[in-house]
Amino acid sequence: MSPIGGKDTYYYMRDGLGSIRNLVDSSETTRNTYDYYAFGKELGSWTETVTNRYTYTSREWDDESSQYYYRARYYSGGGRFSGRDPAAPYGYLYVLNSPGMFSDPFGLWMWKDGKRQGGSRATVIACGDTSFNGLAKMTMLDESTVKTWLRPYKAEKDVKQGDEFTVPNTVVIAIGDMASWARVGIPGVAQYAKTTLTNKGFNVIYFDWKVAHFTASQVEAPAYDTFGLVLFGHGSGTVGGKFANDPFNGTYIIHKWREKHEDLGDWAVPSASYYDGQLGLMVGKFCFATQGGWPNKVSANGVSWMGDSFEFSTWTWGIKKTIDKAK
């Protein structure tokens, strides 16, 4: 409940997402009532006896553009922002299509229960075991690479209880260009990973070649803020275990001519893009996933599932169990 000024005093009544449901006056008489479809459009007939611009998720309605003003960009209430996400490559989607769980009051980050979700890096507080080994176990990262992932870095002897640091918190999920028969079951598992990891507070970046083409540069963009990878697609053992979007016709999983094609350019993500021990989570469902150095990228405290199994119950169960262990 919040008061608004003017000649008379009125109070906003908000729901769990922060959307205005009622406007009441000082005598507790309801003056305005609002109801919404999931993504913010007007549901039913609103009752307004007092002029008010703030409604869905408490954002201001702009009459000139007929959109909500979300600070960094505008939103029409149809599930897509008018501009791309300036903070992370979520594109135009509003709260990853989960308006019943999250809001995005600044047009930059999702919020839930008053807390910002999924920053590219997460804050950790040293408590109990303040050794690098203790911090590594707590974050599922590798003690041997602590100088790379711990920010700000300080010598182990100087770490005290209560010290705050940031660690990688970004997980990239990518579905490559695959034949329809090879995609069976993959979008569902990928969506499970996205929902589960987002709910855990990870910054999830999601790509699906069938929805929008993407390049290796976009997958690699988070660089040292990457905590995990979930990759579905093609792979080739003879080009260093690269995960790729097939740059030819999307019908091959492995093809003899393609195995000899040494340079896939910006279509392939090589394991060399990540340092050994970097990842707290690694899922790779593509041919030769266990070759090319990918297993070495997983932290000693991390979890992984890698393979090219086509036994549906085996790989779906294994991947979901692995995703569930990420923290």
Q: Where are the beta strands (DSSP E) in the chain?
A: 2-4, 10-14, 20-25, 30-33, 47-48, 60-62, 67-69, 74-75, 111-112, 115-116, 121-125, 164-168, 170-175, 203-208, 226-232, 234-236, 242-244, 268-269, 279-285, 298-307
Question: CATH number of the domain that 203 lies in?
Answer: 3.40.50
Closest CA to 30 of 55, 6, 12: 12
pLDDT at 87: 54
**Of the candidates 61, 82, 98, which is a domain's last residue?**
61
* Residues 320, 186 share a domain: yes
Q: Report the predicted TM-score, pTM, of the whole model to 2 decimal places.
A: 0.63
Q: For residue 12, what are the β-bridge partners?
A: 2, 23
Residue ranges for the chain with pLDDT beneath 70: 1-7, 85-91, 96, 114-118, 236-241, 245-267
Structural domain contains residue 80: no
Structural domain contains residue 84: no
pLDDT at 283: 95
Residues 304, 228, 302: CA angle, nearest 5 degrees: 45
* Residues 320, 193 share a domain: yes
pLDDT at 259: 41
Task: Respond yes or no on whether the N-terminal peptide bond of residue 222 is cis (omega within 30° of 0).
Answer: no
Question: Which string of b and e fits 296-326 if b means at least 16 CB within 10 Å?
Answer: ebbbebbbbbbbbeeeeeebbebbeebbeeb
* Residues 172, 53 share a domain: no
Fill in the DSSP letter of residue 208: E
**Of the candidates 11, 44, 61, which is a domain's last residue?**
61
Structural domain contains residue 253: yes
CB atoms closer than 10 angstroms to residue 51: 8
* Residues 172, 45 share a domain: no
**What domain range includes position 15?**
2-61
**Of the candidates 61, 77, 112, which is a domain's last residue?**
61
pLDDT at 253: 34
Structural domain contains residue 221: yes
* Residues 310, 178 share a domain: yes
Structural domain contains residue 307: yes
* Residues 180, 313 share a domain: yes
Structural domain contains residue 69: no
Structural domain contains residue 147: no
Q: Where are the beta strands (DSSP E) in 26-176?
A: 30-33, 47-48, 60-62, 67-69, 74-75, 111-112, 115-116, 121-125, 164-168, 170-175
> Could you tell me the sign of the dihedral formed by the alpha carbons of 246, 248, 250, 255, in that order?
negative
Domain count across the chain:
2
pLDDT at 37: 94
Structural domain contains residue 20: yes
Fill in the DSSP letter of residue 227: E
